[in-house]
């Protein structure tokens, strides 16, 4: 029987047997993953397992040695990062991509402009671009920095800078967002607030985040992808992943024990 595929069943992001070799070293070894639209996914795994490499493959920084990567059903492997960005995938820019001597509002405006294909030389015409300004104001509210609108980015707290980074990441309206350890370096209370912020700004979007903090993972993710030695060894709900013996053995057992021990010591 022939059935027409339902478009809503098309994964927002899909990896099919993706391999990445650096010279003779296999770093990603046949990774498979199908992320549904609107889902929040945490990618976890031991140091050196290949999580960042996976993000670099998805965002176009690296080209896979073989395999396919699809965004909303369209092949993106082999495309340049800016092309993938245009197709609706945005990866968090690290703080180094924030302009320290521009205000929060101006940084957001740059984010909106990049997504529209403008470049810095247009900065002096900015005041006339009503739609760009409106969008930047809206982002300012969404990331909770309206009170810091005219503050120079370099004078923000660390957590505020990370919020700004997320604002820039979502500026173009991409529907698939990649965040690399978004709460790294934050205190517990900052982390809690920040998870809420990520939840709010990614409503209706698909989120992939690389994360080491199990509190963040279990507080944020609908499903967890466990990467061990270049393979996705499990991709399931937090409960199922926690109880998966293979994951326990390969990774989670020791990590959870370490975190519990650290908490008990405080
Ligand atoms: N450009 C490269 N050339 C050669 N080897 C690389 C390259 N990039 C990454 N690797 C290697 O690939 C492996 C996986 O690295 P990757 O950074 O993807 O792991 P990770 O899971 O993100 O680790 P961590 O949690 O420590 O950030 C590492 O052994 C790393 O040394």
Instruction: Give the residue-averaged pLDDT of 38-46.
Output: 95
Tell whether the model's pLDDT for residue 21 goes beyond 50: yes
Average pLDDT of span 47-60: 95
| Contact between 62 and 53 (Cβ < 8 Å) | yes
Ligand 1 pocket check for 53: Cβ under 6 Å = yes
> Residue holding tokens 């369209």?
74
Sign of the torsion angle spanned by Cα atoms 170, 172, 174, 179: negative
Output the six-digit token pair for 246.
Answer: 């293979």
Residue 164 has pLDDT above 50, yes or no: yes
Contacts for 57 with CB less than 8 Å, ≥ 6 apart: 15, 18, 20, 28, 63, 64, 69, 77
Tell me the domains of the chain and their CATH numbers: 11-82+219-266 (3.40.50.300)
User: Does the beta carbon of 47 sit less than 6 angstroms from any atom of ligand 1?
Assistant: yes
CA atoms of 90 and 105, how far apart (whole Å): 20
Between the CA of 92 and the centroid of ligand 1 the distance, in Å, is 18
**From the alpha carbon of 49, which atom of ligand 1 is closest?**
21
- Can you give the length of the chain in residues? 266
Q: What count of other Cβ atoms lies within 10 Å of the Cβ of residue 106? A: 18
Pairing assessment for the beta strands 89-91 and 223-228 based on DSSP bridges: unpaired
CA of 47 relative to ligand 1 center, distance in Å: 8
Alpha carbon of 80 to ligand 1 centroid (Å): 20
Atom of ligand 1 nearest to the CA of 54: 18
Pick the more confident residue, 199 or 254.
199
ipTM given for this complex = 0.95
Quick one: what percent of the chain has pLDDT higher than 90? 62
230 lines ligand 1 (CB under 6 A): no
Judge whether residue 250 has pLDDT over 90. no
Which pTM value belongs to this model?
Answer: 0.87
56 C-beta closer than 6 A to ligand 1: no
Provide mean pLDDT across the span 219-228. Answer: 94
The larger pLDDT score, comparing residue 258 to residue 226, is at 226
pLDDT computed for residue 92 by the predictor: 86
Mutate to test the pocket of ligand 1, among 21, 27, 58, 227 (most ligand atoms within 8 A of CB): 27
Nearest CA owner, ligand 1 atom 8: 53
Q: Is the pLDDT of residue 249 over 70?
A: yes
64 CB within 6 A, ligand 1: no
pLDDT, mean of residues 112-119: 71
Residues 92-107, mean pLDDT to the nearest whole number: 83
Nearest atom (ligand 1) to Cα of 53: 18
- Mind listing the pLDDT tens digit for each residue in 178-196? 999 888 888 889 998 899 9
Residue 138 has pLDDT above 90, yes or no: yes
pLDDT of residue 4: 47
Ligand 1 pocket residue status of 167, Cβ below 6 Å: no
pLDDT of residue 115: 73
Cβ neighbors of 94 (< 8 A, separation 6 or more) are 165, 180
The pLDDT of residue 111: 86
Give me ligand 1 centre to Cα 151, in Å: 36
């Amino acid at each position: 029987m022939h059935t027409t595929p339902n478009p809503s069943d098309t994964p927002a992001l899909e990896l099919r047997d993706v391999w990445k070799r650096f010279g003779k070293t296999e770093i990603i070894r046949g990774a498979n993953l199908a992320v549904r639209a609107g889902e929040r996914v945490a990618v976890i795994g031991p140091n050196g397992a290949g999580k960042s490499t996976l993000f670099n493959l998805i965002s176009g920084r690296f080209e896979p040695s073989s395999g396919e990567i699809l965004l909303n059903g369209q092949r993106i492997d082999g495309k340049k990062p800016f092309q993938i960005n245009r197709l609706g995938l945005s990866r968090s820019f690290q703080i180094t991509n924030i302009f320290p001597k521009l205000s929060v509002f101006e940084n957001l405006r740059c984010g909106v402009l990049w997504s529209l294909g403008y470049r810095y030389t247009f900065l002096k015409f900015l005041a006339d671009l009503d739609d760009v300004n409106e969008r930047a104001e809206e982002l300012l509210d969404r990331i909770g920095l309206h009170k810091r609108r005219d503050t120079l980015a370099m004078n923000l707290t660390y957590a505020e800078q990370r919020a700004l980074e997320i604002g820039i990441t979502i500026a173009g309206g991409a529907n698939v967002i990649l965040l690399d350890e978004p709460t790294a370096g934050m205190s517990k209370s900052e982390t809690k607030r920040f998870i809420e912020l990520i939840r709010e700004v990614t409503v209706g979007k698909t989120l992939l985040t690389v994360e080491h903090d199990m509190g963040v993972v279990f507080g944020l993710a609908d499903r967890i992808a466990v990467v061990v030695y270049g393979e996705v060894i499990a991709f399931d709900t937090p409960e199922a992943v926690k109880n998966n013996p293979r994951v326990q053995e390969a990774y989670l057992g020791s990590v959870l024990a370490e975190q519990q021990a650290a908490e008990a010591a405080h």
